[in-house]
Structure 1
């Protein structure tokens, strides 16, 4: 936790606006939290309790180990004077708005600094405890150390960047070379078939690398910026790309009235709809494929559906359809290529964004599959 102004407005730490805790008030608070402290000392996670102005009135033994500060030197002080205050102004404004003005729990990740100067990361779970009249009694912060988790995330991001550079560049070069050979190489029929098979294998590798990079990126969405997205335009753009790749498939797109907007991470939203629509086109009827899309409002959500007339998903495979690297048994027989990551990525992203994805297959009185995405209107 970090400091703020003494009224209900929120701000970055400002020592001149701080409300200091007198020795008498500190003693009174220590009596109030004494019984809580007995239980919290048994926890392995860092726990801090502060008064309504952010002054420390209790910290457990795990917090001492985590920060390097003893309780006696921390009592009555603000965490920002000791180990905090290293995040952006926006972060602390959101935190204080949530816990002091709205009086609701706050969850976030913060970079802090130990007494010896070592930086570390904590996952903050801060909850206000209220008096009977609704005033704030004190704040309880349960703040586990997540430094190892953040180090793994950093390694994954750096590895993903390296992977993308090291693998995508040569694969793209191979693709261009194979395209040139196919068109300009004066090849026999058998040679063209062999080049086409190599081209298809290379495309599968390109798709696999792209899917793996997307999978790696999902774990760090907090690093991305949100923007307002026109879902109609986004889906229309994806349909045009799908139509260019699957010229034999007939696409239709019905829309509800009014603007259909959401505020989210543009690249991940695009990935959800791209994977679903391209998947429908890929597995629609081989001779007279159709993909019918709808976007509109339903209850308090934006509702999207994507229906194809293809091979469907066998009942015995449906529970596993969102698993990593899983492909339905009939898909393996009819379509040799595929990474088994497309729907897994859809599920990961929608779960991360708080959306809901589901499907029906086979459809009543018809072939194919329909996928549904429901987006809460607040997204």
Structure 2
């Protein structure tokens, strides 16, 4: 043991990165100086102990179950952010990369963790999220009130055509600002680990969205197809619905102006669920394709089809999909229209 510890000390002891090594049953066998500085625990404080007895154990049970499933059952590396507590009682956040080291038989020999403190980064993120949430909620109620007033004014019998046009423009601007606020609030929630999960009928949810889209776009022909049984998802319902609602609304709004057609499909595959949303509108240009999921990006085509827009719709789709572990992509070409896909892996269904 002493020889092994000396070897580890010489190899990684002076590294600026915080390094920890445990046995397969999570007993600490080594920490370097950087780890001591990060946590306040000395080498002697930690040897033979489980991290949960020292700085750890402050995340949810679900978080730790997922961590151990990845590194011990799947024998794959894990990356994530954990809230821990230093020896002096101060809470801090660390970004950890934990890798199982296997022997020649594929069995776990030990675990190695490389970590960095990210408390300041997390505090900035928390401030940003709280700021967006507060501003969003403070703006939401006045905007609703303004919308009611505009509707009330529009019903007046003494309006000239010029007055009606002005009220219509104010209404559109208010509607655009309301959409922007809702998008900001949705973004502030994306990527959170504490979102409530529930199992729901994927097919029924899409049918409800299609009904709403059809009412808003009566001239567009909507088609819906499913393949396979048991089309259920277990995740945060409101966030998931936002993804599919954004994609289906986009498909309808950017379909061919004269003979718009949208085709939505859900297929059950051997490795998960595949959602697709096609429209027969103009293709996305090659120059716009790399930017299509970018924040606040609106192509010339988007501006032509829809004057008002926040440029956040597809950015929100990508952000939520990334946080859920889903894959999202699209295909678009001349005369082929555009299809957006969302692949939900079987372990995320």
Do they fold alike, i.e. is TM over 0.5?
yes
Q: State the alpha-carbon separation in 1 of the partners of residues 48 and 347 from structure 2.
A: 39
Q: Find the aligned partners of 1:294 and 1:40 in 2 and give their Cα distance.
A: 52
- Which of 71, 74, 89 is equivalent to 1:117? 89
Partner of 1:8: none
Question: In structure 2, what is the equivalent of residue 250 of structure 1?
Answer: 221
Q: Which of these residues, 324, 332, 342, is aligned with residue 295 of structure 2?
A: 324
Report what 2:165 is aligned to. Answer: 193
SS of alignment partner, residue 325 of structure 1? coil
Alpha carbons 1:363, 1:369 under 8 Å: kept: no
Following superposition, the deviation at residue 207 of structure 1 comes to 1.0
Distance in 2 (CA, whole Å) between partners of 1:94 and 1:370 is 33
C-alpha displacement of 1:212: 1.9
1-structure distance, mates of 2:207, 2:127: 36
Residue 155 of structure 1 aligns to a residue in which SS?
A: helix
In structure 2, C-alpha distance between the alignment counterparts of 1:314 and 1:268, rounded to whole Å: 29
Report what 1:352 is aligned to: 323
Inter-partner Cα distance in structure 1 for 2:98 and 2:85: 19
1:22 equivalent in structure 2: none
Tell me the C-alpha RMSD between the 2 structures. 2.4
Describe the superposition over 1:210-229 as per-residue Cα deviations: whole angstroms up to 9, x where unpaired. Answer: 11222222232x12133223
Pairing 1:44–2:13 present: no
State the match for 2:46 in structure 1. Answer: 74
Q: What TM-score results when the alignment is normalised by the length of structure 1? A: 0.83
Q: Is the 8 A contact 1:317 1:329 kept in 2?
A: no
- Extract unaligned runs of 5+ from structure 2: none
Q: Alpha-carbon deviation of 1:80?
A: 3.2
Query: Partner residue of 2:100?
Result: 128
Structure 2 counterpart of 1:271, from 238, 242, 263: 242
Shift of 1:84: 2.5
Moved more, 194-203 or 105-114: 105-114
2: CA distance, partners of 1:158 / 1:52: 40
Counterpart check, 1:228 vs 2:199: yes
1:75-97 superposed Cα distances (whole Å, 9 cap, x missing partner): 33333333223334444455445
Preserved contact between residue 228 and residue 262 of structure 1 (Cα < 8 Å) = yes
| Structure-1 separation of matches of 2:292 and 2:27 | 51
Corresponding residue for residue 333 of structure 1:
304
* Cα distance change of structure 1 residues 88 and 344 upon mapping to structure 2, 3 Å threshold: closer
Equivalent residue for 2:140, pick from 168, 171, 188: 168
Which entry has the higher C-alpha Rg, 1 or 2? Answer: 1
More strand by share: 2
Moved more, 345-354 or 163-172: 345-354
Asked if 2 retains the 8 angstrom alpha-carbon contact of 1:54 and 1:79, the reply is: yes
Question: CA offset at residue 330 of structure 1?
Answer: 2.5
1:213 to 185, 197, 210: 185
Partner of 2:342: 373
**1:339 to partner: Cα distance:** 1.2
Identify the residue that residue 288 of structure 1 maps to in structure 2.
Answer: 259
| Alpha-carbon spacing, 1:286–1:91, altered in 2? closer, same or farther (3 Å) | closer
In 2, Cα distance between equivalents of 1:93 and 1:308: 41
1:62 CA drift (Å): 0.9
2:69 and 2:274 mapped to 1: Cα distance? 32
- Structure 1 position 113, deviation (Å): 1.5
**Which consecutive residues of structure 1, in runs of 5 or more, have no partner in the other structure?**
1-27
Offset at residue 321 of structure 1 (A): 1.6
Distance 1:115 1:174, change over 3 A: same
